[in-house]
Amino acid sequence: MKSIHRFLLIVFFIASAVTAFASDEHDKHAHHDTHKNEKFEPGNFIMDHIADAYDWHVFSIGDFHATVPLPVIVISEQSGFHMFMSSKFHHGHSEYNGFYIAQEGEFRGKVVEKIGGKEVRPFDISMTKNVIAMLISMIFLMWIFISVAKAYTVEKGKHLKGYNH
């Protein structure tokens, strides 16, 4: 059982490191080609890395980008409840059922729809990158606390057996 815990812990740390390295490499190449003469803005750089997204970029190898599509769950004033995977947006380059990811303006990076020629934000309860990261963190912390609690209860009984007043 302990070997499974150690294995999961090692996989978690390796996946975290690979994700951080891959997204950094992807951004270096993407920004290098398109923004050669622009001044480096650390605030924009940081916000691009921590901004929420409807898919999770895992790693890149050359022009191949491995991403995990996440569920988009929206309720439109016009058409009601919709649930679909973010891969339907093709990395933000197309729309699906009248919904698309806004590229600029007030709702930049969020799912919107056009109603009366105006971008309107539906009620959005999607599983975004930040939501999934929080769920993974919560599960990991629960696993740690439960493991420590179990180990404590097992050890507690062992120490009391040999203790006399």
Residue 90 lies in a domain: yes
Residue 92 lies in a domain: yes
pLDDT digits (tens, 9 = 90+) for 8-48: 667 666 665 554 444 444 444 444 445 456 788 888 777 76
pTM (whole model) above 0.75: no
Residue 156 lies in a domain: no
Residue 73 lies in a domain: yes
Residue 123 lies in a domain: yes
Domain of 141, in residue numbers: 2-151
Lowest mean pLDDT among 27-31, 78-82, 125-129, 145-149: 27-31
pLDDT at position 8 is: 63
Helix/strand/coil percentages in the chain, nearest 5: 50, 25, 30
Residue 110 lies in a domain: yes
Residue with tokens 């022009």: 63
How many CB atoms sit inside 10 A of residue 95's CB?
16
Residue 44 lies in a domain: yes
The number of domains in the chain is 1
pLDDT digits (tens, 9 = 90+) for 100-140: 988 888 888 889 998 888 989 999 999 898 899 999 999 99
Cα 106 to Cα 39, 56, 85, 96, 119, distances in angstroms: 24, 23, 23, 20, 9
